[in-house]
Copies of this chain bind each other. A is one copy, B any other.
Amino acid sequence: MEKTIFFAPDILSNPELPFEEGQHCIKVLRKKEGDEIFLTDGKGCFYDARIIQAHPKHCIVDIVNTVKTPKNWNFNLQIAFAPTKNIDRIEWFAEKATEIGIDRFYPILCDHSERKEIKAQRIEKILISAMKQSQKATLPQLDEMQQFRKFIDQDFEGQKFIAHCYEQEKRELKEIYKKGNNALILIGPEGDFSEKEVEMAIAKGFIPVSLGESRLRTETAALVACHTIHVLN
């Protein structure tokens, strides 16, 4: 049986577990004062901690030991994606990408987006759960939904790609990505990016790429992009 991992992002400044984590620890798992539990701050550290107050609404701990646990990939991987109409599909992508390893998710609103909003809190929970489940100490960052046109303006230190399905001269991501580089990859909505969007991204330095010969759904494309970068590193 594996150790339960609790998530306490502010543990260094606040010795109280977040409400839901504290409830789970005290009410569900019935931990007592003096018991040791295992925490992560989602910022690269695990902690052994001892419970000093086992109140179900205020579980307070004392850190006994800190284990710095850097992420197991040495590049920065960011994926911007247009959330799918069926939100399960994108939640699935968020979970799987967290297991495999990703630094940052950007939901973007595109010309052909069918979904205009996401439940960030729900996805945040999925990310936390996938981080714990895959025994990582780093929580990927989930940005707020933003307009594609605004998004492509921001600076990025590394290779930038746009995956689209138009017939156009483009190479495969796996041929053009250079090992060790940071990567930012744009994945379009079910109806693809608009031609205008592709043009604008290219003008901003995004390299058009294909993800292979198979036709993939949005969420599969996003995961395939994420995993391709890992395989090449």
Residues of A at the B interface (CB closer than 8 Å) are 72, 92, 96, 99-101, 133-136, 174, 212-217, 220, 223-224, 227-228, 230-232
In the complex where A136-B214, A214-B101 touch, is A223 in contact with B96 (Cβ < 8 A)? yes
* Residues of chain B contacted by A232 (CB below 8 angstroms): 231
Per assembly, the copies of the chain total: 2
A217 and B92 within 8 A (CB): no
Whether the Cβ atoms of B72 and A216 lie closer than 8 Å is no
A72 interface neighbour in B92, B99, B135, B213, Cβ under 8 Å:
B213
Q: Please name 24 pairs of A and B residues whose Cβ atoms are closer than 8 Å in the assembled complex, sorted by A.
A: A72-B214, A92-B92, A96-B220, A96-B223, A99-B214, A99-B216, A99-B217, A99-B220, A100-B212, A100-B216, A101-B214, A134-B214, A134-B217, A135-B215, A136-B214, A174-B231, A212-B230, A223-B223, A224-B227, A227-B227, A227-B228, A227-B231, A228-B231, A231-B231
User: How many angstroms from the CA of A92 to the CA of B214 in the assembled complex?
Assistant: 17
**A72 closest partner in B (C-beta):** B213
A135's closest neighbor in chain B, by CB?
A: B215
A220 to B223, CA, bound (A): 10
Closest to A172 in B: B231
Known contacts A72-B213, A96-B223; 8 additional CB pairs below 8 A are: A99-B214, A99-B215, A100-B224, A101-B214, A133-B215, A134-B216, A134-B217, A231-B232
User: How many Å lie between the Cα of A220 and that of B133 in the bound state?
Assistant: 12
The 4 closest A-B pairs by CB, nearest first: A72-B213, A231-B231, A134-B215, A135-B215
Chain B residues lying within 8 Å of A224, measured Cβ to Cβ, are: 100, 227
Name the residue among A72, A133, A214 with the largest chain B CB count within 10 angstroms: A214
The complex places the Cα of A230 from the Cα of B174 at a distance, in Å, of 10
Q: Which chain B residues border A135 with CB–CB below 8 Å? A: 215
A142 vs chain B, min Cβ distance (A): 19
Alpha-carbon separation in the docked complex, A136 to B215 (Å): 8
A18 CA / B224 CA spacing, docked (Å): 33
Distance in angstroms from A169 CB to nearest chain B CB is 19
Closest to A136 in B: B214
A96 to B214, CA, bound (A): 11
